[in-house]
Structure 1
């Protein structure tokens, strides 16, 4: 009973949030990724600079890769070469013809049983040679794929559509594996985490609209506002403040910088939530 009383007291003393109330928070990028090379090497090219807008898959930088390029070309030739397979197929076809002639000759005692058995062994050997040629060709193909994967480790590609925030390398410089070299951020959409009282958070739902108000810029008569959407509502409350973290995504067509203090107002609070079933009367 004492525990229940204490929990009830905490809920009563927690600040109640009314629909339409504004909450303060700070905007942050929806993605913030620091890229590194996997292994040490010399920087051959830096294909971006700070402030560049980049698309996903854009080459940002690469290490010296001449030796790996040559190795890849050599393995590509081997992977495409089917000469050994064709040779083994031709040999097998000839061995089968030879065996057929001997078996026909054996019906008239023109070939001995030893000659026929020896020919059958040659056919089996030719079959195994063909199988080995195919296995070898598959191994060549996989070595080519592996070489391509190793080469790709020397190239840094942007994993997102975003902006280059920081470049820490220069052409000709040597770097160690896993050293941070380039930072890419995505600021459209913006991401905003808001601590919301549990009483209000329980009335929210995913994809619910929320108005985001930015601080007025110099010369602006009216602050910029955009409509965001609730992306996630945390399931674990912060005990000290009795709040849940609510994450909002908001389009950033206005190109606002991240790190601004913004105001959040949740819209249509309570809509779409099923009312609680009344307790049965005593």
Structure 2
């Protein structure tokens, strides 16, 4: 019986330890850093994406080619994939022909010029010719003028139809919305694709975001723009990346409360700007050290292999150019 009780107690102890290990670690109290000049707040959390997107074409059709496959880097505006656009390209060629054809306008201009000449001649001879002749020439000029305006309107309409045809061709293309990397390919060449149906997933990998929670009473010490250092945490392993610091800034302090078991918490996020080597991966557990100061001289310098945080430019007051110009002219 004692053996059973001991076994049960041991199992319960192991289970409680497992739960304790799985439970998220809460933010620590602010502590004085080693340089004795600035307070820091250590916040546990996770790494998440800043920018991630499921890319799709705006038209339905047959996927013709994938330009950027899994793992390839992309730049904003790069062609990632495209659908078959044969019919759209033919429509664009037809619209281009109409948009470049100016023969109707040239003909209408010539007719208007003839009508204007006849009307002017009739005006000079109005005392010799009949009144009906004069009014006829004036009416013919008005008709020729109206026809010229109509042809010009058709030409402008053809130019707009060309833009629409070009847009229809562009809607078969899938372009990268930002710099990053292709994470997943969902569709393959030859497959039918519906409008706005995802074809590939892409994400920005050189910039990631830390997400964590702090107790409500500590949230009042935080402000957007505060400098932070993030260190990844890999339980049970000691690898070089856990010794690195990734610098960033707080970009979000939630206006809402998230309630834990015993206290209210506030969600905070910080953007890490120097994940150039892509060592910090989404899903990493990490600790974020917040420097509770606005004085850049009190913040430790970033590691040599890390990019420094570029300070936000000081906003300049708006200049009312017109009013200043009037003053300058008056002075002259």
Partner of 2:163: 145
CA contact (8 A) 1:231 1:247 kept: yes
Aligned residues: 257
Q: Does 1:100 find its partner at 2:90?
A: no
How big is each residue's C-alpha offset from its partner over 1:156-204, in whole Å with a ceiling of 9 and x where there is no partner? 1111110000011221122233322100001221111221222222222
CA RMSD of aligned residues (A): 2.2
Match of 1:20, SS? strand
Question: What does residue range 116-127 of structure 1 map to in structure 2 within 5 Å?
Answer: 116-127=134-145
CA contact (8 A) 2:119 2:138 kept: yes
Partner of 1:280: none
- How far has the Cα of 1:261 moved from its partner? 0.4
Q: TM-score, normalised by structure 1?
A: 0.84
Q: TM-score, normalised by structure 2?
A: 0.72
Match of 1:187, SS? coil
- How far has the Cα of 1:215 moved from its partner? 3.0
Match of 1:243, SS? strand
Give the whole-Å Cα distance in 2 for the aligned partners of 1:53 and 1:161. Answer: 8
Match of 1:21, SS? strand
Partner of 1:54: 74
Partner of 1:248: 270
- How far has the Cα of 1:21 moved from its partner? 3.3
Give the whole-Å Cα distance in 1 for the aligned partners of 2:184 and 2:286. Answer: 25
How big is each residue's C-alpha offset from its partner over 1:3-23, in whole Å with a ceiling of 9 and x where there is no partner? xxxxxxxxxxx9884242321
Match of 2:286, SS? strand
The 3 A distance-change label for structure 1 pair 230 and 165 is same
Match of 1:188, SS? coil
Partner of 2:33: none
Give the whole-Å Cα distance in 2 for the aligned partners of 1:271 and 1:72. Answer: 59
- How far has the Cα of 1:72 moved from its partner? 0.6
The 3 A distance-change label for structure 1 pair 218 and 75 is farther
Give the whole-Å Cα distance in 2 for the aligned partners of 1:131 and 1:54. Answer: 48
Q: Does 1:260 find its partner at 2:284?
A: yes
- How far has the Cα of 1:94 moved from its partner? 1.3
Higher relative contact order at CA 8 Å, sep ≥6: structure 1 or structure 2?
1
Match of 2:70, SS? coil
Q: Does 1:44 find its partner at 2:68?
A: no
Q: Does 1:91 find its partner at 2:122?
A: no
Partner of 1:168: 186
CA contact (8 A) 2:63 2:190 kept: yes
The 3 A distance-change label for structure 1 pair 103 and 244 is same
How big is each residue's C-alpha offset from its partner over 1:79-134, in whole Å with a ceiling of 9 and x where there is no partner? 12222222212211111111111111123x1x111011011111111111011111
Give the whole-Å Cα distance in 1 for the aligned partners of 2:295 and 2:188. Answer: 54
